[in-house]
């Protein structure tokens, strides 16, 4: 793993820590209540998920057959789209929905996106292995 691939993750982690710390300080100073601080961190988590998922399709390695590379790229795109949309929905729910609804529905949205992502990846891998497309080039 190179520094180039770690940089976006480190930036997002630093932003998350800054948001969490800032909200904790604001809560301690009485600027926001506990519910608003909770909403703020959950919105930040949703936006972080969306940002990181947006980077997924850009992480392909080309070292197998062209069909296997295409299937991997398709799986990364499906995962990127589904998790980006789930992150945005998560952030929107926590920003605007009542707490009881946001807590349950946001979790269901992200879990659904994970099922779609993993399901498509497993289907793509199974299809690739059954047709022998995953073999390395000679």
pLDDT in tens, 30-46: 999 989 999 999 999 99
What is the rounded average pLDDT of the residues 129-137? Answer: 58
pLDDT in tens, 48-65: 899 889 988 887 676 667
pLDDT at 30: 92
pLDDT in tens, 71-127: 888 889 999 999 999 999 999 999 999 999 999 999 999 999 999 999 998 998 888
d(CA 30, CA 17): 20
* pTM, to two decimals: 0.81
Three state DSSP letters for the chain = CCHHHHHHHHHHHHHHHHHHHHHHHHHHCCCCCHHHHHHHHHHHHHHHHHHHHHHHHHCCCCCECHHHHHHHHHHHHHHHHHHHHHHHHHHHHHHHCCHHHHHHHHHHHHHHHHHHHHHHHHHHHHHHHHCCCCCECC
């Amino acid at each position: 793993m190179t520094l180039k691939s770690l940089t976006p993750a480190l930036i997002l982690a630093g932003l998350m820590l800054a948001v969490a710390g800032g909200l904790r300080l604001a809560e301690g100073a009485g600027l926001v209540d506990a519910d608003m601080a909770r909403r703020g961190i959950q919105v930040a988590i949703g936006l972080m998920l969306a940002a990181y998922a947006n980077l997924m399709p850009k992480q392909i390695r080309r070292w197998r057959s062209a069909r296997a590379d295409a299937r991997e790229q398709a799986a990364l795109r499906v995962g990127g789209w589904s998790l980006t949309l789930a992150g945005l929905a998560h952030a929107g729910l926590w920003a605007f929905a009542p707490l009881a609804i946001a807590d349950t529905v946001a979790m269901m949205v992200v879990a659904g996106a994970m099922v779609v992502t993993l399901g498509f990846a497993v289907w793509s891998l199974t299809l690739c292995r059954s047709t022998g497309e995953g073999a390395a080039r000679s």
